[in-house]
Structures are given as structure tokens and as C-alpha cells.
Amino acid sequence: MERSMMQLSLADIAAATGAYGDTESSSELMLAGVSTDSRTVEPGQLFVCLRGDRFDGHAFAADAVAKGASAILAERPLPEAMGMVPVMVAPDSLAALGRLAGYWRSRSRARVAALTGSAGKTTVKELLAAALAESGATAKTRGNLNNRIGAPMTMLSCNGRERFWVLELGINYKGEMAELAPVVRPDLAVIHNIGPAHLEGLGDLAGVAREKATLLRFLAPGGEGVVSMDHPLLWQEARTILEKPVGFSCKGKDAPYTGKVLGREGHLTRFALDLDGEALETALPLVGAHFCENVLAAAAAAHRLGATAEQIGRGLARAELPTGRFHCIEADGRCVIDDSYNANPLSMRASLEAARELAGERPLVLVLGEMRELGPAAPDEHRALGKAVAATPARALFWRGGFGDQVQEGLAKGGFAGVFASVDSESELLSRLDGLGLAGAVVLVKASRAIGLDRFVAALTARRGGNA
């Protein structure tokens, strides 16, 4: 995608956001892009002052002006900037940022695909964007900037002339999708799975289904929803909102879009897809049957947006898959599976099964950590994780973070015969792992991002023997 972004006049921005203030004398001023970070603001941009738990952008408005910001959107007057650049005031600058992104979306010619799910969102986003890029310029969410700040900022970084926008949407509290989805107003909404994630804010699995399915209420006119039929609560919610959601299934359901795993070839998995009558086979560096729903969701969405099976196949093969998501690294005689980016009960179980499959006859070792944001369900979910681990052939489980006692309870109930140990540092992990004497082991590393197991991955892969 070419390096370009939103271009709007100050008058447009004031009208879109409902902001008032010093705008009339400079109403024809053109702003090129938006920034919420005074450290990276560029000349000619609009600086939006956002407030958070640990920061207040209003305190950095003068710094933004010094770096070249041409106007400021804030929640209160800023005497320190008066006379230097136009200052517009809105009651809620975050809401104003969303309205501005929504306005830019209405000015764009792009068809917008928005996707959400409990696990694998970024993988689906990368696959879908790569598939669509075969038939036109495509912009996508950078990294996982998928919340009420990240999604609007992604939209405002687009030049508006792209053929497609692929936006990843993440939520963690009730009502958040109803705040985010109207900004995006997708032509195509994709919901590829649900699981017990963010239960602290969403309550239970039914609550997750309701919140995710809310995206379908905010489709653009003529828009469609592509939804997994393999998650009954999700499919039920989708059918209460849309008369005819477009279903897909990797579990043999009667759907226009179906997929299955044909087998593994080293660190590649071969998938067979039926795209509403068009057949597609593809081999991707994704290990585990659970990736079928990610691949099929992306392919189905691209197909609904007009891509052919041939274009989709080429795009999937060229996709740049995110790091920290079941990435296999051969190092020091071991296969280290870096799945450290994040974890919830759904993704944890899928990764356990995939690691078990990948290990085959090789020894399996697990380096796992706490799953965050589960609320009152956290103790039970960690007990269930222990039982799931006990059902694998793992020779050892090294644990970091809270709920270790509950994990041990689950291990005991499942009859786990391996080693369990809590580890607090990289050196302790390496020492304990070396002490097992398991040559050629497959080592899965996974936990919620806040636990910081990426440092453990770095230690485990310091002496690499080649990437897989």
C-alpha cells in the first residue's frame, strides 16, 4: 500500500466530530493524517488528545505542536496552544476520533471487511488481506491495533482509494462492539469462532457470542455476515440478527463454505476448501487442525468479496503470518513452538492438540502460563487446563503466573505422570529443561501476553539450528 493517508479540511473534521472552537479562520486548512502520540506526530497532522488510565494527551499538546501538528482536537480549551494552531473541542475525544474515522470511511471507495473472534483474529486478518490483495489494493490493521483507538487510527491511515480495507476488531467488555462497529460499518463481517475469553468483561460464553454477533447489526446497506456454524451459540445469535448469514464449517455441517485438513507435510498443513462450489487446496505453514477455521474464514470472506479460488490460493500462499502464533523454531536440538503472543481457554486447548500432533514420537514439554481476564471463571478454567494437559503425552509442565495451584489440581484429577514446576526466570527454565535430558523435545510456549513468555522463547531459541 502506498504511503498516504487521510486528507480532510479542518471544516470537514469539525463537521464530522461536532467539535467547536478556533476553526472558522482556518476552515480550509487541510490535515494529512491523525496522531494520538506526541512522540511520533508528523507535520501537517491532527493531534487528538486522548485520556487513559496512565496518560493524558492534553499534557503533550504543546509538544505535538512543536513537532509540526497543524491542529488539535481536545476535550477542553488549551491556552498553551492558542494562537499557534487551531484547537477544536469535543466532549469526548475518543468518541470524536471514532466519528472522524466513520466519516472518512463514508468518503472512501473501499469495500470494508471487519472480522472478530475469540482466537486467531490476527491470523485471519493476514490471510484475508493477502487473498484480497491479489485483486486490488488492500489496507489492513497493523499488528493487533483493533480496539476503539486502533481501528479508527487504521482507517484514518488509509488513503481512501484502496479497493479493500481489512479491519480486525477486538473487544473485552459488554457494549464495546456497539461502540466500535458503527464506526466501521462493514460491507462484510466475519466471525470465525467464540471461546471463553475476556469473561471478566463479557460474563460467559453466551455473553461472548452476543457481543461478537453485535457486529452483524451494523453492516453497511447490502452487507453480509460470514459466520462459523461450528460454534452453536454464535450461529444461533447470528440467525437472530440476520435472515441469511453465510455459514462456513470445518466440522461437516451443511454450509456453502466447508474445509478439512488433508494432512501435514513437515511444518506445512494441507487444507481442502469448497468455496461455494469452487475447490481449492492449499498448503500453509500452520500446524494444527484448529487453523482450518482461520483459513476457511479468510477464504470464504475473500470469495464473498469477489476473489476467485485461484486468486485466493495465490494470496494465502503469500500471506505474512504473525509471529508468536504457533511459530516453530529449531534451536539447540529442540523444536520450540512460539505461541507466546496470547492465550485463552479456546486457543490453549487448540495449541495443546496441535503441539501433540506435531511432536509425534518426540518428547513433548509444555511451558505455559496464566490465562488473564477470565473473571470468576478463572479458577475452573485453569483446573480444566490442568486436566487437558494430563490428557497429552507431555513429559513436563513448567508454569509461570497465577492459578498454578488450580492447574495442579487439574493435573492430579487427570492422572498426570509428568513433572510440574513453577518457574520465575529464563535461567531457571533452561536449567530445569536441561535437567530432563530430553533430546529432540518439542517445547510449546504459551500464555497471556502480560505473562511475558516471549522472553522465555528468546532464551530457548538463543542457539538456533535453523527455522522451520
CATH number of the domain at 355, please: 3.90.190.20
Same domain, 419 and 334: yes
Distance (Å, whole) CA 254 – CA 187 = 24
Q: Which of 41-50, 225-234, 318-327 has the lowest mean pLDDT?
A: 318-327
pLDDT (tens digit per residue) in 174-222: 999 999 999 999 999 999 999 887 778 788 999 999 999 999 999 999 9
Residue 422 lies in a domain: yes
DSSP run (H or E) holding 317:
helix 309-318
Task: Read off the C-alpha cell for 409.
Answer: 489440581
Question: d(Cα 286, Cα 122) in Å, to the nearest integer?
Answer: 13
204 belongs to a structural domain: yes
Q: Does one domain contain both 339 and 300? A: no
pLDDT digits (tens, 9 = 90+) for 336-367: 999 999 999 999 999 999 999 999 999 999 99
Name the residue among 36, 22, 19, 152 with its Cα closest to residue 91.
19
Q: Tell me: the pLDDT tens digits for 398-430?
A: 999 999 999 999 999 999 999 999 999 999 999
The total number of structural domains that make up the chain: 3
Q: List beta partners, residue 399.
A: 368, 422
Q: Tell whether 1 is covered by a domain.
A: no
Q: What is the pLDDT of residue 394?
A: 98
* Same-domain status, 56 and 153: no
Q: Same domain for 408 and 309?
A: no
Examine the domain organization and report whether 12 and 112 are in the same domain. Answer: no
For residue 176, how many C-alpha atoms fall within 13 Å in the half-sphere facing its CB? 18
Does some domain include residue 99?
no
Q: Contact at 8 Å (CB) between 280 and 237? A: no
The pLDDT, as a whole number, for residue 53 is: 84
pLDDT digits (tens, 9 = 90+) for 218-252: 999 999 999 999 999 999 999 999 999 999 999 99
SS (H, E, C) 372-418: CCCHHHHHHHHHHHHHHHHCCCCCEEEEECCCHHHHHHHHHHCCCCC
Average pLDDT of the residues of the chain? 93
From the list 435, 456, 439, 460, the residue with the least C-alpha distance to 447 is 456
More confident residue, 265 or 220: 220
Long-range contacts of range 214-217, CB-CB < 8 Å, 24 or more positions apart? 214/177, 214/178, 214/181, 215/114, 215/116, 215/169, 215/177, 215/181, 215/186, 215/189, 215/191, 216/189, 216/191, 216/241, 216/242, 216/245, 217/178, 217/181, 217/241
Residue 103 lies in a domain: no
Instruction: Answer yes or no: is pLDDT of 468 > 70.
Output: no
Residues 302 and 365 in one domain: no
pLDDT tier for residue 467 given thresholds of 50, 70 and 90? very low
Domain encompassing residue 57: 7-91
pLDDT of residue 82: 81
Residue ending a domain, among 288, 318, 348, is 318
Which amino acid is located at 108 in the chain?
Answer: S
Sign (positive or negative) of CA dihedral 66, 71, 75, 81: positive
Say yes or no: 46 and 184 in one domain.
no
Helix (H, G, I), strand (E, B) or coil at 367: strand
When pLDDT is cut at 50, 70 and 90, the band that residue 25 belongs to is: low
pLDDT band, residue 24 (cuts 50/70/90): low
What integer is the mean pLDDT of 53-58? Answer: 90
Assigned domain for 101 exists: no
pTM for the whole structure? 0.88
In a domain, 2, yes or no: no
Work out whether strand 71-74 and strand 34-35 pair parallel, antiparallel, or are unpaired: unpaired
CB-CB contact of 155 with 98 (8 Å): no
Closest of 2, 24, 14 to residue 74, by C-alpha: 14
Looking at the domain assignment, is residue 102 inside a domain? no
**What CATH number is associated with residue 246?**
3.40.1190.10
Residue 52's pLDDT band (cuts 50, 70, 90): confident
Whether 377 and 252 share a structural domain: no
Joined together, the cell numbers standing for residue 180 give: 466500535
Are 14 and 154 in a shared domain? no
Asked if 408 and 421 count as a contact pair (C-beta separation under 8 A), the reply is no
Q: Are residues 309 and 334 in the same domain?
A: no
339 shares its domain with 191: no
Domain boundary among 286, 318, 350: 318
Looking at the fold, whether 372 and 423 belong to one and the same domain comes out as yes
Contacts by 99-102 with C-beta closer than 8 Å and gap 24+? 99/16, 99/17, 99/18, 99/183, 100/8, 100/13, 100/16, 100/17, 100/34, 100/152, 100/156, 101/151, 101/152, 101/153, 101/155, 101/156, 101/183, 102/16, 102/182, 102/183, 102/184, 102/185
Which of 269, 298, 318 is where one domain is finished?
Answer: 318
Q: What's the CATH code of the domain at 55?
A: 3.40.1390.10
**Cβ-contact 297, 113 below 8 angstroms:** no
pLDDT surpassing 80 at residue 3: no
